[in-house]
Amino acid sequence: MPDRSSSSAPSRPAAPALRRRTVLTLAAAGASAGLGLPALAQARAVRIGVTLDHSSVEKANGTGLFLGSSACFAAINKAGGIHGAKVELQLADDQFKPDVAKANALAFAADPAVLAILHPLGTRQASEVSDAVPGLPVVGPNTGTVALRRKNTPNTFWVRANYDQEIDRLVAQAVTLGQTRIGLVHSNDPLGQSLLAGFNAALAKAKLEPAIIATTPNTISMEVEPAAKRIAEARPHVVIVGLAGTAPAFVKALRAAGGKSSAYGLSITAGSLSAMGDLAHGLGFSIVVPSPFATRHEIVRRYQADMLAAGQQTFSLPSLEGYVNARVLAEGLRRAGPGASRAQLMAALESIEGYELGGMKISFGRGNREGSQFVDVAVIGAGGRLLT
């Protein structure tokens, strides 16, 4: 099947903050029979907490992550669970608010049946979650902020590559195409500062100077017009869009201001592509998982089969990332053994080295908490096709 893009996963009813919903994962896919998980009677359950945005500016990314991880565990449960235990995901909507994400994490930690927290979404949200529950494993935070990874948070297992790696790849791509006047737009907050540092380092490596650097007030601010006008006036060959849910508004404002620069987004832009409509055509962006249509990869074939079995017809980068995160956590649970504690799960995750997912390789251990080095560049072609 040719690579192509798709709209973000269908929306679900908004869930109030702190409200929990247990996902009874009953669907399955035949492709998951090869996971090597024992098909034993399921007399007990393992609970995994999920705190992310399910109703606000990052709802598209949050919904995608959750659909992917839900499909993964649905298939695992149908195949017998993990050591005979069914895995239940409990979702708490944090509305992309760091304080709510922290409260959700503390509530999960108070439940002894919750063994881990899966893919919190956002830089400040992930930081609050990891710091609040040091004894609870946190797997696959959806942020590539390098500063967070340098903190002493041994409970946190990063699956995706970091933003420095993404920006370095985008700058290298631009230089290869002869685009040497490179600008950046970023939010004026911890996420944005991390992106700025990575941008400056990548340009220094390429022996270039920034063509223009513009900022928006913060991650969720829709006040993007001033930054768009500055970029349009500077006329860089390419602008790296260091924004997530607000990226569509920025690109629209850039084009409205007469800006004709090529736009390269980060992986966090992926969940917003459907909101860009025709403006997405020609947009390049970094991806930290393979294309969800690249069926040459085993991980993508399994993902597609399990999504379809779960009743999900739409494939997307966020849902594939959620699926990958779930597969990594499932491997940790398998290694931890039946009736594992949180500490045993943490040790099991540490033992993962060279874990081949079929298109991606995950390695933790020896103090390393950054599992994947996978970064590629994709472009939205005619008709919304995802080209890699």
Query: Of 268, 35, 56, which Cα lies nearest the Cα of 141?
Result: 268
Q: Is the pLDDT of residue 271 over 90?
A: no
- pLDDT at residue 190, rounded to an integer: 85
Tens digit of each residue's pLDDT (9 = 90 or more) over 146-198: 989 999 899 999 999 999 999 999 999 999 999 999 999 999 998 899 899 99
Q: Is the pLDDT of residue 3 over 70?
A: no
Which percentage of the chain shows pLDDT scores above 70?
87
- pLDDT at residue 300, rounded to an integer: 98
The whole-number average pLDDT for the span 82-93 is 97
Tens digit of each residue's pLDDT (9 = 90 or more) over 207-262: 999 999 999 999 889 999 999 999 999 999 999 999 988 999 999 999 999 999 99
Tens digit of each residue's pLDDT (9 = 90 or more) over 7-62: 333 333 333 333 344 333 333 333 333 344 433 334 479 999 999 999 998 898 99
- pLDDT at residue 41, rounded to an integer: 38
Neighbours of 216 (CB within 10 A): 25
Cα distances from 58 to residues 118, 165, 246, 284, in angstroms, run: 16, 22, 9, 20
- The encoded tokens of residue 326 equal 């779930």
- pLDDT at residue 387, rounded to an integer: 77
- pLDDT at residue 13, rounded to an integer: 36
Apex 142 CA angle, 253 and 240, nearest 5? 35
Residue 380 · residue 289 · CB < 8 Å: no
- pLDDT at residue 383, rounded to an integer: 65
Query: Of 327, 372, 329, 316, which Cα lies nearest the Cα of 63?
Result: 316
> For the stretch 285-302, what's the b/e string if a residue is b when 16 or more beta carbons lie within 10 angstroms of its beta carbon?
bbbbbbbbbbbebebbeb
- pLDDT at residue 34, rounded to an integer: 37
Range with lowest mean pLDDT among 17-21, 282-286, 377-381 = 17-21
The whole-number average pLDDT for the span 104-120 is 98
Q: Is the pLDDT of residue 373 over 50?
A: yes
d(CA 251, CA 260): 10
Q: Is the pLDDT of residue 376 over 90?
A: yes
Cα distances from 97 to residues 46, 106, 260, 354, 360, in angstroms, run: 27, 14, 34, 35, 31
The whole-number average pLDDT for the span 344-368 is 94
- pLDDT at residue 386, rounded to an integer: 76
Q: Is the pLDDT of residue 277 over 90?
A: no
Tens digit of each residue's pLDDT (9 = 90 or more) over 61-72: 999 999 999 999
- pLDDT at residue 384, rounded to an integer: 65
Average pLDDT, the chain: 88
